[in-house]
Amino acid sequence: MSVVKEFGRALLKPLGAPAGAIETYIEVPFEQGEKKCFPDGLIRIRRGKLTWTALVEVKTGRNVLETGQLETYLDVARSQGFDALITISNEIPPMLGEHPTRVDKRKIRKVALHHWSWTLVLSTAVLQKEHRGVSDPEQAWILGELIRYLEHPRSGAMELEDMGAHWVSVRNAVASGTLRPGDPGAAEVVARFDGLLRFVTLRLGRQLGTDVIQVRSRKEAADPSLRAQAVLASLVADGRMTGAIRIPDTVAPIHVTADLRASQVTCQVEVEAPKSSRATTRVSWLIRQLKHAPEGTRIEAFVANARGPGTAELLGKAREDPSTLIADPKKEIKKFQVTMIVPLGTKKARGRGSFIDSVVDVVDDFYSDVVQHIKGWTPRPPQLREFEPETVQPPEIASVALSSQDGAETAEANPAENDAGR
């Protein structure tokens, strides 16, 4: 972080740290009461008269952050006048800005508490080196060595490994219809699911070279507990957990639903239909863009001013006959829903048949086969009218005979002709 300036700035800017030279130290000793403590690191940034300082605590492998240790370091930071405590571990919080470990809220009134997962650190490094760029070649090489180290299976920087200790009991309770909101582990599974979506966004962002984010309403962003309560209520009532991710410049967010009762995981995207042309043309417009999608992809067409489900058909049949998606040719198709459905893994840990891998795989496939190929409809620009040039007919030879339209001026102008006429 202190050597590769762009990388250090990319990590620290979201925390409110100022731009400036980054100083880093390891295992700085502090006295807290009668004890000595050694946080894993310290980061300091100086800019003019402004100084920003943060302590750092790091965990690797399956080691988790401990409340007591973090509260001690928060006390040290407060007594030293430091600004923040940053934690790094393999724990992935449900959403960006949340911390995976609960601490006494009174201790974070004057000292901010931030968390980086190792997945976030790795994703930021890859984005910076491969997509955003590093100005100095030597710094780029150093960042590449960090990436190579973090990607090694023995580095201790692991990806999301399992769904937690309560996954099996909660899964079985959902299947039998006996899950209750207060059951042990239900809230943990919901938090793990949101953490899984966060992991999916970081992984996709690393592959695509862009910032992929979870979709949250303003109320949920302000109060994350609302999101947790809504997902928990859905899991208890319907056996479903749902979330959405947004990839920049795509037609719409991808909605991900894990249905534990039906043992299915679905990815869905809504596509606005063209606002002109006939119904068959609108359906064909979408089908042409799904040439890479598997035949089992489901398409549902919704007409304007109608409630309830639309007309649904599998892509394979719709390719053969687009009219299968048209219930009434006279009604205007307003939008389409494109859905991919795959079997849901049930195992809690990573590997074949796991819940995590089934969600990760369907999101990858849905984006690569469907979403990245769909372009939203745009109206044709208004066209200028083309005017044909007027053809000018040559004038006919003027007649010298008198006409009823001739006035006195004409008669006076031709006295010889008047005499000849007399």
| Residue 111 and residue 44 in one domain | yes
Give residue 397's pLDDT. Answer: 57
Choosing from 118, 151, 184, the residue where a domain stops is 151
Give residue 384's pLDDT. Answer: 84
Angle at 285 between CA 279 and CA 290, to 5 degrees: 130
Region 45-52: mean pLDDT is: 92
Residue 137 resides in a domain: yes
* Model confidence at 406: pLDDT above 90: no
Residue 380 resides in a domain: no
pLDDT in tens, 212-231: 989 988 888 888 889 989 99
| Residue 64 and residue 213 in one domain | no
Q: Number of folded domains in the chain?
A: 2
Please give the share of the chain, as a percent, with pLDDT higher than 70.
Answer: 92
Residue 265 resides in a domain: yes
Residue 391: which pLDDT band, with cuts at 50, 70 and 90? low
Closest Cα to residue 13, out of 135, 82, 116? 116
Residue 402 resides in a domain: no
Give residue 383's pLDDT. Answer: 81
Region 306-335: mean pLDDT is: 90
Q: Say which CATH number the domain at 67 has.
A: 3.40.1350
* Model confidence at 304: pLDDT above 70: yes
Region 21-39: mean pLDDT is: 91
* Model confidence at 367: pLDDT above 90: yes
| Residue 178 and residue 216 in one domain | yes
pLDDT in tens, 266-298: 999 999 999 877 889 999 999 999 999 999 999
Residue 203 resides in a domain: yes
Range of the domain at 78: 5-151
Residue 380: which pLDDT band, with cuts at 50, 70 and 90? confident
Choosing from 104, 125, 151, the residue where a domain stops is 151
Choosing from 353, 373, 393, the residue where a domain stops is 373
Question: Which has the higher per-residue pLDDT, 61 or 395?
Answer: 61
Residue 79 CB partners (closer than 8 Å, separation 6+): 32
User: pTM of the prediction?
Assistant: 0.78
Residue 313 CB partners (closer than 8 Å, separation 6+): 298, 299, 324, 325
* Model confidence at 188: pLDDT above 60: yes
| Residue 327 and residue 354 in one domain | yes
* Model confidence at 398: pLDDT above 70: no
Give residue 338's pLDDT. Answer: 96
pLDDT in tens, 231-264: 999 999 999 999 999 999 999 999 999 999 999 9
| Residue 308 and residue 212 in one domain | yes
| Residue 54 and residue 114 in one domain | yes
| Residue 259 and residue 354 in one domain | yes
| Residue 183 and residue 134 in one domain | no
Q: What is the mean pLDDT of the chain?
A: 89
Residue 393: which pLDDT band, with cuts at 50, 70 and 90? low
Residue 62: which pLDDT band, with cuts at 50, 70 and 90? confident
> Could you tell me if 251 and 374 are in contact, meaning their C-beta atoms sit under 8 angstroms apart?
yes
Residue 235 resides in a domain: yes
Please give the share of the chain, as a percent, with pLDDT higher than 90.
Answer: 64
Joined together, the tokens standing for residue 186 give 């239900």
Residue 418 resides in a domain: no
* Model confidence at 414: pLDDT above 60: no
Residue 208 resides in a domain: yes
| Residue 264 and residue 333 in one domain | yes
Region 101-128: mean pLDDT is: 93
pLDDT in tens, 67-90: 999 999 999 999 999 999 999 999
| Residue 33 and residue 124 in one domain | yes
Give residue 415's pLDDT. Answer: 53
* Model confidence at 419: pLDDT above 60: no
| Residue 107 and residue 242 in one domain | no
| Residue 256 and residue 317 in one domain | yes
